[in-house]
Structure 1
């Protein structure tokens, strides 16, 4: 039967049948008439398959409404392969999108009940106010699909992606870690958390140029991963070393022969810091081992 006949019998638009054929979802035939015109047709049994396919799909607008997301975000999900439409603009410049309902439903999430009630935030708010960078929305979705982030809510309630509630602090920490892993700089306050030090101590380190900072497009002085790694490889605090030796910091300070590079009695800063290279000779001489620098993750 012709495409128009199949479309009418299946209860869909003829363009939908054409898009199914172009996307190779159903088989189509093409014959050339004596007049030179070309006519497409489908097997007369295909109308049932066409009807089932069309009934099992939603348009881009419908998917956006169901997921409570802007259409631009649904397009991102399609471009990244999270959603795989049967018909899209990639199939012969289709005017309509047909996305399987099952794939849309996979982006509905049930909540995870928690003992306490942390401050929560929904995905729509994050998209509107957190100024996500390119690719971060997709990373957020994949973190949800991979259970790296878990929605907060009732176990028996299925919530669309745009409306799910997330632990605000946990989500912000996840985003900061992801950006840091991609080479983004962090604020001095965030650097303090990674080093396991108080903020004022780290500001002292910056002032004394023991911890190198940069000025990028973000406000304030920023600290890179390379800078943190260099600092931890070069310096060790008296408190950290004393803890590893299971000794009181004050007694250890008096016993050490090497001089700290920074500290209360040297430059007015809040903590004593030593060069690891200065300590190495003394520690080697008395049989002790120099503690290895802690990674930011270990410190956290």
Structure 2
């Protein structure tokens, strides 16, 4: 086997790993001394050389793709990359990944009429705090043309360096998380509700916005919790905007009491229960929203 490796121009370990992975056939003979002799057919020498030449190591694959080695291992674990030799085959010290598979993760750009703000995949991995499995989902979305790189069609860019429409990609990620039932941080919930951070923390403290504790750090908010909150409560500011009235005037004249607010529990904003507010107005005070009011501001 050592002679075969030398003639093929590869390391003996590469030949050994090819045999273990059953890429090439190998022979094994037990000698009278108790030692084991391994050999390969001479006709396999050319095949060994071709196979080795058509592969790259894990380090080279990571550099060519512009990704950390850990992310290349993720691609291997998911089956997007299928090495001829890996640590799954007899604890191989080296990885040999077909170049053709690496090239399949080099993308051509898609030209657009406008120039949207973009972000590359490496920055997404660094700053967006992707959860388990989301990187693979992102790659599969690229392979399936759900997400398209921004750039010139004549240029081919490796996975880690491709530019994506930042807003479109963030929206895709949010929709994917919602569909999967993922939880979000309180700060993400704030953005979706269009409220200030302290207001949302008050809602959490008071139990109006339900949170959970899962495997991620901090209190988390589910989409079901967001939907329930929005269906149950409405802020004074939002209601005042919908009826085009001054919030302070409404607070003094509405026939129902808020469930939360500065004078009730020292929270930052007033919130009403929708059923109380709309039920009372529909039954007794529907004309209230049609009357004129003094021009006041909070």
Counterpart mapping for 1:107-118 below 5 A: 107-118=105-116
Q: Secondary structure at the match of 1:142?
A: helix
Question: What CA deviation, in whole Å up to 9, does each residue of 1:101-138 have, x standing for no partner?
Answer: 01100111111111111111111222223333332222
State whether residues 76 and 82 of structure 2, in contact with CA within 8 Å, keep that contact through their aligned partners in structure 1: yes
The match for 1:214 is: 211
1:23 paired to 2:21: yes
Counterpart mapping for 1:98-247 below 5 A: 98-180=96-178, 181-187=180-186, 191=189, 199=195, 206=203, 211-214=208-211, 223-231=221-229
Deviation, structure 1 residue 215: 7.3
Counterpart mapping for 1:57-76 below 5 A: 57-76=55-74
Deviation, structure 1 residue 233: 5.6
Q: C-alpha separation between the residues in 2 aligned to 1:71 and 1:215?
A: 34
Q: C-alpha separation between the residues in 2 aligned to 1:48 and 1:12?
A: 11
Structure 1: 5+ residue runs without aligned partners? 238-247, 251-258, 284-300
Counterpart mapping for 1:208-287 below 5 A: 211-214=208-211, 223-231=221-229, 274-275=274-275
Deviation, structure 1 residue 87: 0.4
Structure 2: 5+ residue runs without aligned partners? 236-241, 245-254, 284-298
The match for 2:292 is: none
The match for 2:4 is: 6
Change beyond 3 A, Cα 1:261–1:152: farther
State whether residues 113 and 152 of structure 1, in contact with CA within 8 Å, keep that contact through their aligned partners in structure 2: yes
State whether residues 231 and 274 of structure 2, in contact with CA within 8 Å, keep that contact through their aligned partners in structure 1: no
Deviation, structure 1 residue 230: 2.7
**RMSD of aligned C-alpha atoms?**
4.0
Q: Secondary structure at the match of 1:275?
A: helix
Question: What CA deviation, in whole Å up to 9, does each residue of 1:51-98 have, x standing for no partner?
Answer: 111111011111111111121221221122221110011111111110
Aligned residues: 263
Change beyond 3 A, Cα 1:128–1:227: closer
Q: Point out the more displaced range, 25-34 or 93-102.
A: 25-34
Q: C-alpha separation between the residues in 2 aligned to 1:85 and 1:177?
A: 33
Q: Normalising by the residue count of structure 1, what TM-score does the alignment of the two structures yield?
A: 0.70
Change beyond 3 A, Cα 1:223–1:262: farther
The match for 1:97 is: 95
Q: C-alpha separation between the residues in 2 aligned to 1:18 and 1:207?
A: 60
Question: What CA deviation, in whole Å up to 9, does each residue of 1:224-250 have, x standing for no partner?
Answer: 22223334665799xxxxxxxxxx979
The match for 1:38 is: 36
